[in-house]
Chains A and B, each alone.
Chain A
Amino acid sequence: MSELIRVTDVVILAYFLALNTFYALLLVLSIPEIWEQTRLAEDEDFQRLMQSDALPPITILVPAHNESATIEASVTAILTLEYRNFEVVVVNDGSKDDTLERLRHAFDLYEVPRTYPETLSTYPVHAVYRSRTRTRLLVIDKENAGKADSLNAAVNASRFPLVIAVDADTLIEPDALLRLTRPFLLGRQIAAVGGTVRVANGCTVKDGRVSDARVPRRLLPGIQVVEYLRAFLFGRLGWNRLGGSLVISGAFGLFRKEYLHAIGGYQTRSVVEDMDLVIRLHRHLQRQKIRYEIPFIPDPVAWTEVPESGRILARQRERWHRGLIAAMWQYKGMLFNPRYGRVGLIAMPFFTFGEMIAPLVEVAGYIVTAVGLAFGVVNTSFALLFLLVAWGYGMLLSLWAVVLEEVSFRRYGRLGDLIRLLCYATLETFGYRQRTVWWRLKAFFTVFTLRQRWGEMTRKGFEDAGKQAAG
């Protein structure tokens, strides 16, 4: 028994070392990336580019399901983006609330015949609407079949070669599209680009725009600000130098439409359609030996409302992890497969062994330590030291994300916000982290029974959130 505990201890320690060494590598790689991106973001003369006809036209895809609270503000904000040539395709995915009515009333919609081929098969489309007041807007009303099916319907209706999927509850910054096209302006072989998603809770929202970025005072959304900074600013930036991440946020990612068609669009059976899509893109492009990049650039920003209650957050995290497990299982053939280059040899193993099984190992670590302590196999001071190092490392990574934010984009200008960020980066380790481990662990039990179920997300609406923040 004691031997088993010792061996398990060593395995967990080795896992901890390997994983954290990789995180350290990502951390180091994120430094030159953020330097380059910040230089480009600051140096480009966007006004001049906007006046030229060099910008590629873009279709913005907005799937909406029961988004009555935010749909009008979101679509208005999207329609007033600073970009020369774009259209917006909103898909009402069989909403049970008055999402469509709100759209009809706000944008004076009228029904038009369908004038595009159904390249990707979708559930039936009831009607297609155009707006009398906003010529760039197209609204599709279709049978409820989930986000992926809605996105496929929107891709079918899109006219332009680049498409960007945006959640209806997401607020895009006015110049975000312009910034997102930077890799295309730089002449690279881009298959897709991801931008940063930030937390809108606590921010002041005016006319569908974040006018004053604040760090929320409430603990749960506040900690998620640090999580998002860590995920986007250092995680994904580091991956740029390792062949590209497997994730482009479904809330804000630009794709080349020809590649979406080539891989059959979004996978309707997937729980996390964004990750599934990016993995299939990598697989297709690697198989076809097409030169490509799927970079992440940090300065285009979209703001999203994150869960404020533990119950909804638990459902969201459980679903995300369920999707990760399902995706890793479905595409296991790519794992350690040299045919898929760095994606097969670095990204897939990391997401499988570093992300997917991490909660299992962490819980095993807690159990083995507790058992070891009970049987006197593990020394108490050693166990505490190990715990201290593990938690300290998590804090270090979170603080590094805050450093990157501070030296680059500095969205949170007030000293109070900075102090709150530092506090949340420290507090995250105590309690919150353990809860997320538990939620992610539950995904291993639900993955085979609830593969397609989505958790309901209760929205407060941005204007309300802003008023609360102001009050």
Chain B
Amino acid sequence: MTSRQFLLIVAIAQGVLLVGLVILIVLNRWVRVRRSARIHPLRIELDTLMQRWSLGQASPDEVLRAMARLPVPIAIDALVTWSARIGGDRWQELSRGLESQWWARAVRAASRSARWWKRLDCARFLSVAATSHDVGRVLRLLRDHHPAVQIAAATTLERVGSSALVTAALEQLPFLGPTVQAYYASVLKRARPAVLRHLQQLFRRLDDPRLPRLIEFAGRLEEPVLREGFTTLATHPEAEVRSQVARALGKFPHPESVAALGYLVADEAWPVRAQATRSLGMIADPKSLPAVREALRDPEWWVRLRAGLALTRFGAPGRNVLLEAEVGGDPEARDMAALILGLSPQALAEYAA
């Protein structure tokens, strides 16, 4: 084949493709307009029925029939939207009704699909319509390799009270990325009793690499029964564990918390000292004032900043410490005190946030 022939073939192929693309663009728009015109009234009909059903003016069967007429992803979207508005027994009734629907059975079967978007559809469906029969499916979806599926599956924990699911999510929590961890944590908070039991057990495994993340999560729960576990871990050999303990203890105003923080504020690792200083400020026990005053002279800037901010929470005694430091002999404490005393109340509030 000569180069001219080759170019000719390419040119013809390009021409065909160009025309094909233009036809594709026009066809795509036409199909979308038609599809939207067909589906939009069905969706409105479903929304009206849902509203009537929520007011007791329509039966669940009518709702289920209207839902079955919609394409599956749109039916799931409608379920997700309405689940936020209707709850309790009424929603449970609809969930049970969905178990016998052919399309819902197909969505449930997709929990084993090779295609991630099918599994995502399944997870989203179960997040609002799962029943106690779905625990096995949700467990599988929680361990899915696609994070979007995991996130949707984790939402199911809000609806299905299963200790097996809680344990599985909690076990997985430390291995997730920080943001997904935070999302799991926000969901797990709502299943508090089962979570607390399991956390207390996990706190006893001192060499568990998941410990720092679990403490971080446990701190967010602000549950008094966990405080004792935190103070025990204050002497843990891992700095990351101690740092998380120091952070968490700020939410537990108790003499034992103050004692543990008094120990941690002199830690060899500066992140631990910074967190402990911050937590002492949050508790603001007058007995801990000397320790915070000492932290204002810390060699690390961040610890000094935390100490300065913590002192503003001690009221007049804390302010006096800052005023003394501002004219004192330690240049670094002097600079930090001047900086903190110059902050507006609004800026201080933002720092505290």
Contacts and interface: CB of A to CB of B under 8 A. Distances in A.
A43 B343 contact: no
Contacts of A395: 18
B346 interface: yes
A385 B186 contact: no
B303 to A, nearest CB: 13
B151 interface: yes
Contacts of B259: none
Contact of B344 (A45, A112, A188): A112
A449 interface: no
A56 B25 contact: no
B265 interface: no
Interface string A374-409: 000001011001101100110110011011001100
B182 interface: yes
Nearest to B17: A396
Place the interface of chain A in its size category.
35 or more
Task: Tell me if B's interface is mostly helix, strand, loop or mixed.
Answer: helix
Contact of A113 (B17, B124, B343): B343
B178 interface: yes
A187 B124 contact: no
Contact of A52 (B120, B124, B183): B183
A269 interface: no
Contacts, number: 125
Given A389-B14, A399-B18, A53 B179 contact: no
Given A43-B148, A386-B7, A396-B14, A184 B177 contact: yes
A403 B179 contact: no
Nearest to A87: B350
Contacts of A262: none
B179 A56 contact: yes
A44 interface: yes
B24 interface: yes
A432 to B, nearest CB: 18
A406 B344 contact: no
Contacts of A1: none
A45 B4 CA distance: 55
B28 A185 contact: no
A393 B14 contact: yes
A407 B28 contact: yes
B11 A389 contact: yes
Interface string A42-60: 0111011100111110000
Best-surrounded residue of B24, B179, B182, B187 (most CB of chain A within 10 A): B179
Contacts of A54: 179-180, 182-183, 185-186
Contacts of A330: none
A422 B18 contact: no
Contacts of A39: 117, 120
B120 A135 contact: no
Nearest to A189: B177
B155 interface: yes
A23 B294 CA distance: 63
Given A386-B7, A396-B17, A400-B21, A406 B29 contact: yes
A4 interface: no
A406 B22 CA distance: 11
A187 B343 contact: no
Contacts of A396: 14, 17-18, 21
Nearest to B302: A117
A115 interface: yes
B269 interface: no
Contacts of A386: 7
Contacts of A113: 339, 342-343
B183 A186 contact: no
Contacts of A415: 29
A357 interface: no
Contacts of B10: 389
Interface in B123-181: 124, 147-148, 150-151, 155, 176-180
A230 interface: no
B301 interface: yes
B344 A130 contact: yes
A400 B18 CA distance: 9
A115 B343 contact: yes
Contact of B186 (A52, A399, A402): A52
A44 B148 contact: yes
A6 B260 CA distance: 83
Given A13-B3, A187-B179, A407-B28, A385 B347 contact: no
A135 B182 contact: no
B80 interface: yes
A43 B182 CA distance: 20
Contacts of B176: 187
B109 interface: no
B8 interface: yes
A48 B11 CA distance: 51
Nearest to B121: A43
Contacts of A389: 7, 10-11, 14
B15 interface: yes
A115 B148 CA distance: 39
Nearest to B10: A389
Interface in A433-457: none
Interface string A355-388: 0000000000000000000000001011001101
B183 A392 contact: no
Contact of A53 (B22, B186, B344, B347): B186
Nearest to B151: A185
Given A43-B117, A381-B4, A406-B28, 19 more contacts: A43-B121, A44-B148, A45-B124, A48-B84, A53-B186, A115-B339, A115-B343, A115-B351, A185-B147, A185-B151, A185-B183, A186-B147, A188-B177, A382-B7, A385-B4, A396-B14, A403-B28, A410-B32, A418-B25
30 contacts: A43-B73, A43-B120, A43-B121, A45-B124, A49-B183, A53-B185, A53-B186, A112-B343, A112-B344, A115-B347, A130-B346, A135-B350, A184-B178, A185-B147, A185-B179, A185-B183, A187-B180, A382-B3, A385-B4, A389-B7, A389-B11, A389-B14, A392-B14, A392-B18, A396-B14, A396-B17, A399-B21, A403-B25, A406-B25, A415-B29
Interface of A: 13, 39-40, 43-45, 47-49, 52-56, 110, 112-113, 115, 117, 130, 132, 135, 181, 184-189, 379, 381-382, 385-386, 388-389, 392-393, 395-396, 399-400, 402-403, 406-407, 410, 415, 418, 422
Nearest 3 CB-CB pairs, A to B? A54-B183, A187-B177, A187-B180
